[in-house]
Structure 1
Amino acid sequence: MSAYDFTAQRLFVRDELAPGVDFAPSAEALNYLLNVLRLREGAAIHVFNGRDGEFRATLFDVTRRAARLRVAERLRVQPERADLDYCFAPLKQARLDYMAQKATEMGAGRLLPVITHRTQVRRINAARLQSNVVEAAEQCGVLAVPEVAPAVELPDFLAGFPARRLLIFCDEHAVLANPMDALADCTAREGVSLLIGPEGGFDDSERGSIRRLQNVVCLSLGPRVLRADTAAVAALAIVQAAIGDWRPPAQDKI
């Protein structure tokens, strides 16, 4: 197999993928291929669906309003999603878009909106959130496209939280300490959920309820107050470096 081309255009599809399969792209994908990328008969593109891996595909039967894709060799096998839930209080739309994109790039396996007392936005545009996840996956070589879960109220999130799962709670009131040290003795065998609050943080009652969970680590993100979208990138980087897939392959990963 030749070396993977990270400069190639990539397209997320919902069709089943295997060598020799051909299919008609969706209307949205067709517009992207013909009118945005301006591809023509015989052009190649990488396709993936989050289930079967990534394949090279060729455009054929191209007309002004239609085309088909024929799947050729598989370029990369499908990895499993990381058992890493990114749990966040939704933000206003532009910053929520950014947050979803960065969480995808950083390797989150599931995005879970959590509604808190100070949450700015309580109605989630799930389709837009999913679109941002897919776009980030297309642009950054991600194959394990994160799941976008329905929003949940914080009390319900805490009540249903598995006892053996690790919750990393980004708490602005946590003792200032090296966050890598805070995670040094943690194991990720039961999966990890990373919880980040809204602008203004959690209130005292919420903070107390979170801290009472059985398997929770309170994490400081430094001496400065971070905006929630900035905190997402900082916290996910720390988690991936400490107990995630930034570590050498011989070590356990989430």
Structure 2
Amino acid sequence: MSTPRLYLDQPLEEGREIPATPAQAHYLGGVMRRAPGDAVLLFNGRDGEWAATITALRKDRCAFRPDRPTRPQEATPAARLLVTAVKRDAMDWMAEKATELGIGLIQPVLTRRSITDRVNTGRLAAIAQEAAEQCGRLTVPRVGPAAPLHAVLDAWDGTPLLVGDERRESPPLIQAAQTLSRGTAWAWLVGPEGGFERAELDDLRRRAFVSTVSLGPRILRAETAAVAGLAVLQALAGDWNTL
């Protein structure tokens, strides 16, 4: 029987009882069939991972007692994903997979070909939290508020930003990824279905921190491009060579 693993925005200290959320109480009691005295793992993004015990569980109320730390806290990942707003199911899937791939920030952006100008960031944050609980991360990626692409670029901090060029007029992603220093911050931007407009690509290329890259000879859906690009970058310039 696997031990449930939960994120709580509460300090984790030995012996200090802390409450669960109503949703977590329902999950533990109604879905996982747990009871007082059963073990759970807790993390909060600050204090590492802790082995804990359920001390009370009734309907929508639950409490835990942290017993001992099991893993020290890790740094928040510096890698970021910028993705143009697409349909809800695709956005949900990208949030889940970006979390599993170790991204620190998920930033929805709005472009001229975006199919929506609304993004449910609360929903994306909840999906990211659940994915972090399940994949063993000690942090939950932040989900930024959706903003126009030009506004995000104007406020950019200079971190190298690699941008998928669906016209395949740019060098391969693998070539650009190999120029990045392993362990440093980088970001990956994926455009909308139908691609960026020419004016948007021209604006991106004028910015010193941007490198446009190709993802090969086939046309990829936005969610496929997001995950494929993150996998390449994590392998060549990210944390895939760490234990």
| TM-score bracket, shorter-length normalisation | over 0.9
Q: Distance in 2 between matches of 1:177 and 1:167?
A: 14
- Superposition deviation, residue 228 in structure 1: 0.6
Tell me the TM-score normalised to structure 1 length: 0.90
The one-letter code of the counterpart of 2:202 is G
TM-score between both structures, scaled by the size of structure 2: 0.93
Q: Post-superposition shift, 1:39?
A: 0.3
- Consecutive unaligned residues in structure 2, runs of 5 or more: none
Q: Secondary structure at the match of 2:124?
A: helix
Matched residue, 1:245:
239
1:96 alignment counterpart: 91
Q: 1:12 to 1:182 in 2, by over 3 A?
A: same
Do the aligned partners of residues 14 and 248 (structure 1) sit closer, same or farther apart at CA in structure 2, a change above 3 Å counting? closer
Using a 3 Å threshold, how does the CA distance of structure 1 residues 205 and 46 change in structure 2: closer, same or farther?
Answer: same
Distance 1:248 1:217 in 2: 26
Deviation of residue 226 (structure 1)?
Answer: 0.7
Out of 43, 47, 51, the position equivalent to 1:52 is 47
Q: How many percent of aligned residue pairs carry the same amino acid? A: 37
Residue in 2 that maps onto 1:128: 123
CA, structure 1 residues 248+178, in 2 after alignment: closer, same or farther (shift >3 Å)? farther
* Aligned 1:77-226 pairs, distance under 5 A: 77-163=72-158, 165-175=159-169, 177-187=171-181, 191-226=185-220
77-86 vs 106-115, which deviates more? 77-86
Among 3, 15, 23, the alignment partner of 1:8 is: 3
Tell me how far apart the structure 1 counterparts of residues 118 and 149 of structure 2 sit (CA, whole Å): 15
Contact kept in structure 1, 2:25 and 2:58, CA below 8 Å: no
Specify the SS of the correspondent of 1:62. strand
* Deviation at residue 64 of structure 1 after TM alignment: 4.8
Q: Tell whether the 8 Å contact from 2:168 to 2:217 is kept in structure 1 after alignment.
A: no
Q: Choose which of 66, 82, 89 in structure 1 pairs with 2:61.
A: 66
Indicate the RMSD between aligned Cα atoms, in angstroms. 1.9
Q: Within 1, Cα distance between the matches of 2:171 and 2:195?
A: 19
Q: Deviations over 1:91-113 (max 9, x none)?
A: 11111110100000011100111
1:66 Cα shift?
Answer: 3.3
| Conserved 8 A contact 1:174-1:218 | no
> Following the alignment from structure 1 to structure 2, what is the Cα–Cα distance between the partners of residues 137 and 220?
30
Structure 1 unaligned blocks of 5 or more: 250-254
SS at match of 2:232: helix
The count of corresponding residues between Structure 1 and Structure 2 is: 243
C-alpha change, 1:119 and 1:188, in structure 2 (3 Å) is farther
